[in-house]
Amino acid sequence: MPVSETPAKPKKLARQQYLDLYYYMRLNREVEETMTRLFRQNKIVGGLYASLGQEAISVGTAYALEKRDWLAPMIRNIGALLVKGVPPRDIFTQHMAKYTSPTKGKDGTSHFGDLDNLHIISPISMLGDLIPVMTGVAMAGRYLGQKIVAMTWIGDGGSSTGVFHEGLNLAASQKAALVLILENNLWAYSTPVSRQVPLENLADRAKAYGISSYIVDGNDVVAVYTTAKEAVERARAEEGPILIEAKTFRRRGHAQHDPAEYVPKEQRAYWEKRDPITLYEKFLTEEKLLDAQGKKEIEDKITALLEKDREFAENSPMPPPELASQGVYCTGPECHNLQPKWERPVEELLPPKSCVQPVWTVEGFGSGTVSSGSSAPIHFGDVPTTADKPPIPARPPAKAAPKPVKKPTPKKSARKGAR
Amino acid sequence: MAPITFLEAIRQAMFEEMAADPSVVLIGEDVGVYGGAFKTSEGLLEKFGWERVIDTPISESAIIGAACGMSYLGLRPIAEMQFIDFIACCFNQLTNFVAKGHYLWNAPAPIVVRGPSGGGVHGGPFHSANPEMYFLHTPGFKIVYPSTPYDAKGLLKASIRDNNPVLFFEHKFLYRRIKEEIPAGDYTVPLGKAIVRREGKHLTILSYAAMMHTSLEAADALAKEGIEAEVIDLRTLLPLDEETILNSVKKTNKCLVVHEDTKTGGIAGEISAILFEKAFHDLDGPLVRVASLDTPVPYAPTLEEAFLPNAQKVFTAAKALAKF
């Protein structure tokens, strides 16, 4: 099992791909800069979490996905959302708690998703929970015959949670098409990675799950993209989950309120010289992929888009108070529109085709063990009552059981009725 | 049809739903080859194969997370907790992720989390829990706790078809101790509807799961003393069928709640509040609770018996209330 492979030598990308990566990194940064200004104007309702200096990871990894693939971001992966097709206005309205936001103001930040079109699953603040969720997405995708890949992110801090282990282990045992990006930005709030994990490379954790991993320079967008692309292809080819450690640095505090004075000056200076966008601009200029004119066109495009979307967000109303009591339950047939999209014959999954020979049995295994059997080897707590413990009389529930009404309706409408 | 056990009713519900709908899958520990610790899923693997009956590592958070993720692509997973006590291991995944999904971002998770619960079987402090109230306080779940094979099957089918996350508690004391004739073929029992198990006029006894049978036993004894208790089986704790409760209390003017969950923070407290809010003028006596002691479930039979409510305790409390 190869551990922490060196990413493949970056292949030549198409010119448009190079420019896309640049566009999304710039967009990522400008969206966040716009929000920083809004925050200072007290227009952001809650916290604001920056990904300054980590844009190459969000953008490079998500850019490796196809439209059918699924992703679940973390709080600093706005770049991934933009690549997947989320308009900046959704991000502005979310942060400003507006009624026009994807959650209608019920949650903030990048806590929103889109199951129907963009295949985005909303993050929650409890780190690691998305790993088993995305494992389930990958398992369901395989079950439906869809050949999808599920991608999610975790930080150096989040990799210490129990559910990181449970999720990655389940993914490995299921050979689920999961690509997990571990953004090692060296800080979990104020705790340096050296005080969290006694490992030089967090990618080493993959070894414990028997899965492949990569280590990549998280500030080199082409390297990130190339590595993620290879991982996504391998996961799609059913090689199992893959862990990518992207090494980077969190240039702002945990959130806007945190000046991050605990970060050593030398460390900050080192990484500020390695700004992913500056590095990439230099590369693009040297490779003659981008000139001043091209750069200005991209900047103008971004400025116009963000101006429009920011204005939309600022002019949007807050949600009406009566919304607070709505939507806890999914009621009515229109609420759950998710029908499985089968891309394989369903008959394979129904008897008789789905039936398997119980080759694991030995003679007598399982015989007479159904509920009516009495000699079955069963777990404690499920034994017939004995004389020294008078049983609670099993009430004949004759009165209890109302006459069943047989539903003559076909399965589909019976299902609707059950809602 | 021959009468079937509670356990067989659960198995039949899963079997029939999986046979009818390929989007229904079962995921949990030892649910496949072994057929579940209590054999509730015996035979499912042979019939539906490895893709639909999924044995997992011992990872309750991953089971719930994966079930939730699967539901986002249109599947309807049933996630089994080998013992419901272990639901505590995935508390965060359930309460913060699964339950909030629809309210926050319009993502319902139509999963059923089911497993054997309850005491009276000397399972000790980690295999006897009634953890329903941890979740009753979390908006977003439906909570089902049946007491008969008929209900177990019909409610489980309704739970699988429901578009919301349902926590389905199966009292393991009932698994093989009660049998009931149930109709062949498909039927469901709607969530959120209580049922009057015995009619009476002197007081209302509200209960569910194993304690419903205890309450009926006590009601028999009360009847011999001329006290007619109306026994209501709540069946679904969330949403709670307030209408049936209020109608009964309007008639009897007295209410006793019996549950196996520990007393403090049990559903009796919530029902008490509802009655004070909505039936204050109907009440001619205090709301009385018969519940387990506020301790962990002890292991020794003598201790566990002292811990649990029983028909005698219900009888005594009900008699006193009737005379109030």
Rounded (5°) CA angle A121-A122-A124: 135
Are A335 and B162 a contacting pair, CB within 8 Å?
A: no
What pLDDT score does B2 carry?
A: 86
B228 and B292 in one domain?
yes
Distance to chain A for B213, nearest Cα, Å:
6
List CB contacts (< 8 A) between B217 and chain A. Answer: 392-393, 395
Residues B123 and B65 occupy one common structural domain: yes
| B167 lies in the same domain as B229 | no
| Contact of A49 with A104, CB cutoff 8 Å | no
The answer to the question of residue B187 being in a domain is no
End-to-end CA distance of chain B: 46
Alpha-carbon distance A419 to A409, whole Å? 15
* Final residue of a structural domain among B145, B180, B215: B180
Q: Same domain, yes or no, for B160 and B13?
A: yes
Q: Are both B163 and B22 inside the same structural domain?
A: yes
**Which is nearest to A248 in space by CA: A226, A227, A275?**
A275
Q: Which of B39, B110, B181 comes nearest A336 by C-beta?
A: B110
Q: Mind telling me how many Å the CA of A406 is from chain B's nearest CA? A: 6
Token digits of residue B253: 């003017």
B221 CA to centre of own chain: 25
Average the pLDDT over each of A154-163, A387-396, B121-130, B236-245 and give the range with the smallest value: A387-396
Which residue on chain B is closest to A169 by alpha carbon? B57
Domain total in chain B:
2
Least Cα separation, residue A345 to chain B (angstroms): 11
Q: Which residues of B are catalytic?
A: 127
* A187-216 residues touching B, CB cutoff 8 A: none
Using an 8 Å CB-CB cutoff, list chain B residues near A410. Answer: none
Closest B-chain CA to A142: B51
| pLDDT at residue A397, as a whole number | 41
Q: Quick check: is B188 in a domain?
A: no
DSSP SS3 for A61: helix
Q: Which of B47, B154, B198 sits opposite A354 (nearest CB)?
A: B47
3-state secondary structure of B180: strand
Q: Whole domain around residue B301: which residue ranges?
A: 195-323
Q: Does A27 touch chain B (CB under 8 A)?
A: no
A337 min Cα distance to partner chain B (Å): 9
β-strand pairing of A187-188 with A191-192: antiparallel
The DSSP-derived string for A4-18 is SBPPPPPPPPPHHHH
Return residues 150-169 of A near B (CB < 8 Å): 150, 162-163, 166-167, 169
CA-nearest residue to B194 within chain A is A400
Number of neighbours of residue A340 by Cβ within 10 angstroms: 18
Task: Let me know if residue B111 belongs to a domain.
Answer: yes
A126, B185: Cβ pair inside 8 Å? no
Question: Does A303 contact B at CB distance below 8 Å?
Answer: no
* DSSP-derived 3-state class of residue B259: strand
Q: Is A177 helix (H, G, I), strand (E, B) or coil?
A: coil
Name chain A contacts of B23, Cβ cutoff 8 Å: 340
Q: Looking at beta carbons, which residues of chain B come within 8 Å of A414?
A: 161, 186, 188
Q: What is the mean pLDDT of chain B?
A: 97
C-alpha distance from A223 to closest chain B C-alpha (Å): 30
- Cβ contact, residue pair A399, B183, below 8 Å: no
- CATH code for position B305: 3.40.50.920
Interface test with A, best of B6, B61, B138 (most A CBs within 10 A): B61
Question: How many CA within 13 A on the CB side of residue A395?
Answer: 25
Q: Of the candidates B157, B180, B203, which is a domain's last residue?
A: B180
Domain membership of residue B171 (yes or no) is yes
Q: Are both B154 and B268 inside the same structural domain?
A: no
**Structural domains present in chain A:** 15-325 (3.40.50.970)
In a domain, B138, yes or no: yes
User: Two tokens at A219?
Assistant: 């500030």
Tokens 């002197």 -> residue: B202
Task: With CB atoms and an 8 Å threshold, state whether B62 touches A102.
Answer: no
Contact B68 A414 (CB under 8 A): no
Q: Give the pLDDT score at A359.
A: 75
Q: How many residues does chain B have?
A: 324
Could you tell me if residue B186 is inside a domain? no
Give the DSSP letter of residue A114.
B
Flag if B62 and A355 touch (Cβ within 8 Å): no
> Is residue B48 in a domain?
yes
Cα nearest neighbour of B302 on chain A? A389
Nearest residue, CB atoms, B172 vs list A351, A382, A415: A382
Task: Spell out the per-residue pLDDT of chain A, length 419, in tens.
Answer: 445 676 666 678 999 999 999 999 999 999 999 999 999 999 999 999 999 999 999 999 999 999 999 999 999 999 999 999 999 999 999 999 999 999 999 999 999 999 999 999 999 999 999 999 999 999 999 999 999 999 999 999 999 999 999 999 999 999 999 999 999 999 999 999 999 999 999 999 999 999 999 999 999 999 999 999 999 999 999 999 999 999 999 999 999 999 999 999 999 999 999 999 999 999 999 999 999 999 999 999 999 999 999 999 999 999 999 999 999 999 977 787 789 999 999 999 999 999 998 777 666 565 444 444 444 444 555 554 333 334 444 444 444 444 444 444 444 443 443 33
Greatest Cα-to-Cα distance within chain B, rounded to the nearest angstrom? 60
Q: Per-residue pLDDT averaged across B217-237, rounded?
A: 98
Q: Look at residues A270, A276, A311, A254 and name the one whose alpha carbon lies nearest to residue A29.
A: A276
Q: What is the DSSP letter of B198?
A: E
Closest chain A residue by Cα to residue B96: A124
| Cβ neighbours of residue A412 closer than 8 Å, sequence gap 6 or more | none
Considering only alpha carbons, which residue of chain B is nearest residue A323? B103
Provide, as residue numbers in chain B, all residues whose Cβ is less than 8 Å from the Cβ of A124.
96-97, 100
Q: What pLDDT score was predicted for residue A333?
A: 75
Torsion angle defined by CA atoms of residues B270, B273, B279 and B282, in that order, rounded to the nearest 10 degrees: 100
Tell me the pTM: 0.92
Same domain, B207 and B160: no
DSSP character string of A116-156: TTT-B----SSTTTHHHHHHHHHHHHHHTT----EEEEEET
d(CA A340, CA B174): 35
Q: Are residues B138 and B27 in the same domain?
A: yes
Contact B147, B175 (CB under 8 A): no
Radius of gyration (C-alpha) of chain A in whole angstroms:
26
- Chain A, residues 341-400, CB within 8 A of chain B, namely 341, 346, 349-351, 354-358, 360, 366, 369-372, 376, 378-385, 389, 391-397, 399-400
Helix axes B6-20, B149-161, angle to 10 degrees: 30
Q: At A178, which helix (H) or strand (E)?
A: strand A178-184
In a domain, B173, yes or no: yes
Check whether residue B213 and residue B271 sit in a common domain. yes
% of chain B beyond a pLDDT of 90 = 98
Q: Where are the alpha helices (DSSP H) in A287-347?
A: 292-315
pLDDT score recorded for residue A362: 65
**B158 and B210 together in one domain:** no
**CATH number of the CATH domain containing B31:** 3.40.50.970
Q: What is the pLDDT of residue A387?
A: 38
pLDDT of residue A335: 83
To the nearest 10 degrees (0 to 180), the angle between helices A276-286 and A15-40 is 150
Q: CB–CB of A146/A343 below 8 Å?
A: yes
Write down the pLDDT at residue A379. Answer: 56
Rounded to a whole number, what is the distance in angstroms from the first to the last CA of chain A? 48
How far out from the chain centre does Cα B158 lie?
14
What are the phi and psi torsion angles at B277 (to 5°)?
-75, -40
Where among B154, B180, B206 does a domain terminate?
A: B180
Considering the domain architecture, whether residues B14 and B101 belong to the same structural domain is answered as yes
Pairing of strands B142-144, A191-192: unpaired
| Cα B235 to Cα B151: distance, rounded to the nearest angstrom | 8
Query: How near does any CA of chain B get to the CA of A341, in Å?
Result: 8
Q: Are residues B40 and B143 in the same domain?
A: yes
Per-residue confidence (pLDDT) for residue A382, from 0 to 100: 52
pLDDT of B154 > 90? The answer is yes
